[in-house]
Amino acid sequence: MKNNNFASRSCLLQTYITCIFHIFLPLSLGGLIYIAYRPKTLVMFTWFNRCGLQPLSGKIAAACTIVLPAPPEWVVYSLPDALWIYSLVMFLGAVWRPRSGRQLLLWAGVAFVLSIGSELLQLFHIIGGTFCLFDTCSYVIAIILSCFLVVSKPEVSYD
């Protein structure tokens, strides 16, 4: 019984670590990059203003720009989406890995199609935006890395 309790706690700790470092941290970092470095003409800043969050977002942006005054363009424009896609696939892995690898592959495939598809639709001017090969590459790297991490993670026994 004692070993089973230890295994259960170890499994719970692994779940927390996955949630914090592979899901919440990338989501938060991508959001911070948007708040700090993206043009204030984005719709999200209008929402912040309407919700009374504009002063807070301004303070967050000021703090971020002290730490990293002028990040490279790829950090500002490509990294947030790659972080969000990585986070999504890691979340899907946390949900589906214990149950079925097929569902994980299906949902990772959906993330792949949506992310790469949106870039291709921009390339052919079907949707607004500017096609960027660097964005596309960063999406592919994020999906491959997250799928590798999910698949290479040892099976956890819940017995």
- Residue 1: pLDDT above 50? no
For 124, phi and psi rounded to 5 degrees? -95, 15
Q: Within its chain, how far is the Cα of 94 from the centroid?
A: 14
At 149, is the pLDDT very low, low, confident or very high (cuts 50, 70, 90)? confident
**Domain segments of the chain as ranges:** 2-152
Whole-structure pTM value: 0.82
The Cα–Cα gap between 88 and 58 comes to 27
For residue range 22-72, list pLDDT tens digits in order. Answer: 999 999 999 999 999 999 998 989 999 999 999 999 999 999 999 999 999
3-state secondary structure of 78: coil
Q: Is the dihedral of CA 23, 27, 126, 143 positive or negative?
A: negative
DSSP symbols for 112-157? HHHHHHHHHHHHTTSSSS---HHHHHHHHHHHHHHHHHHHHSPP--
In sequence order, the 6+-apart residues with CB closer than 8 A to the CB of 144 are none
104 touches 93 (CB < 8 A): yes
